[in-house]
Amino acid sequence: MKPALIQLQSYSQVFVESRVLKRTVFITGTSSGLGLSLVRYFAERGWNVAATMRRIDRMNLFADLPSVHVIPMELTDADSAVEALQTALRHFGRIDVLVNNAGYCLLGPLEATSMEQIRQQYETNVFGLMNMIKICLPHFREAGGGRIINIASISADIGYPFVSSYAATKAAVAMLSEVLNVELHEAGVQVKAIHPGLFETEIFDSDKLQTSREMPRAYRPLSDRFTALQNSFPAGNPEDCARVVFRAANDNRPDRVHYYAGRDATLLRRLKRLLGPESAFSMIKNIFIHGPSWWMKWLFPTK
């Protein structure tokens, strides 16, 4: 064999091996927000990233990162999800971590929300995510283990008004993660849930946020207080959430399920621990009903 050819072969072998030897994360919903930040965070720390998204117009977002392979995927389409996972396995040879990030928020009083809107919310945030896990599990079993990280929300922990469907889906994701953490222990699969607080992403952009048909007059005072509170609260930098997800993907704590990201989420978790869930809920409820007291403003400084 000619020396140049040998060199070429060894280069391509190194390339193939480095792809296979590096750890690989498969992330859903990477066209914006937390997903986008996660792709960069993992790739910049030496991981291969299978970055799925449904927006073809954003597929060159990671052109500067050679270890990122962008794959089109619509989460609610089971065939699309299977195809995306197979594409990732063909490209990288393995998946070590699945991050179920894709999701959206349905906002508005339950009374004014249609059952179709609620079903859609579950289709994406719960059923799409469960399906993704089911598709990935045979690979993890064959590989002898893996990790599943589900993006839940702090709204799974405490009752905010006007997010009944969204919070219910996120509470489902949080509990699903606990159940699977036990169920898959012997398969070597660690399952974790991330509870982010408020982060600066596209989730509340008008073209993404789904809302109830109307805001009935009876809800207006509560709605005004809710909007004022939400607008005054500083949203976190998505990279801070990516750091928490990265820790969950790498730590050596198979029994730890819940991770909190963002100052608001961390504070709320501490508050629940300190006061107990009932008193913490009562305090948060009072903020929405009567507005924050001076010491709450001090504890939760607003913009």
Ligand X SMILES: NC(=O)c1ccc[n+]([C@@H]2O[C@H](COP(=O)([O-])OP(=O)(O)OC[C@H]3O[C@@H](n4cnc5c(N)ncnc54)[C@H](OP(=O)(O)O)[C@@H]3O)[C@@H](O)[C@H]2O)c1
State the sign of the Cα–Cα–Cα–Cα dihedral 56, 212, 241, 196.
Answer: negative
For ligand X, give the closer residue by CB, 35 or 146.
35
For residue 259, indicate whether it is catalytic.
Answer: no
What span, in angstroms and rounded, lies between the C-alpha atoms of 259 and 282? Answer: 23
Phi, psi dihedrals of residue 24, rounded to the nearest 5° = -120, 135
Size of the site for ligand X (CB under 6 A): 27
For ligand X, give the closer residue by CB, 187 or 209.
209
Burial of 50 (0-12, 13-18, 19+ CB in 10 A): buried
Site for ligand X in 231-290 (CB under 6 A): none
Q: Does 75 bind ligand X (CB under 6 A)?
A: yes
**Residue ranges of the alpha helices (H) in the chain?**
3-21, 33-44, 78-92, 115-122, 129-143, 164-183, 220-232, 238-250, 263-275, 277-290, 294-299
Q: Which residue reads 């949080």 in tokens?
A: 174
Q: Which residue is nearest to ligand X (CB)?
A: 33
Catalytic residue among 166, 219, 259, 260: 166
For ligand X, give the closer residue by CB, 79 or 255.
79
Catalytic residue among 160, 170, 219, 260: 170
For ligand X, give the closer residue by CB, 161 or 196.
196
Task: Report residue 285 as tokens.
Answer: 């409820």
Q: Which of 97, 99, 80 is nearest to 152 (CA)?
A: 99
In whole angstroms, the minimum distance from the beta carbon of 183 to ligand X comes to 22
Choose, by CB under 6 A, the member of 24, 25, 27, 34 that binds ligand X. 34
Task: Report residue 205 as tokens.
Answer: 């952009």
Q: Does 140 bind ligand X (CB under 6 A)?
A: no
Choose, by CB under 6 A, the member of 74, 83, 178, 240 that binds ligand X. 74
Binding region for ligand X (CB under 6 A) out of 24-32, 61-69, 174-182, 223-231: 24-32
What span, in angstroms and rounded, lies between the C-alpha atoms of 302 and 299? Answer: 9
Q: Which long-range contacts (CB under 8 A, 24 or more apart) does 62-67 make?
A: 62/30, 65/39, 65/40, 67/22, 67/43
Choose, by CB under 6 A, the member of 27, 33, 136, 259 that binds ligand X. 33
Site for ligand X in 95-134 (CB under 6 A): 101-104, 124
For residue 208, indicate whether it is catalytic.
Answer: no
Choose, by CB under 6 A, the member of 19, 54, 141, 263 that binds ligand X. 54
Binding region for ligand X (CB under 6 A) out of 26-34, 90-98, 277-285, 287-295: 26-34
Q: Which residues in this chain contact ligand X in the complex, by CB under 6 A?
A: 29-35, 53-55, 74-76, 101-104, 124, 151, 153, 196, 198-199, 201-203, 208
* Residues that are catalytic: 166, 170
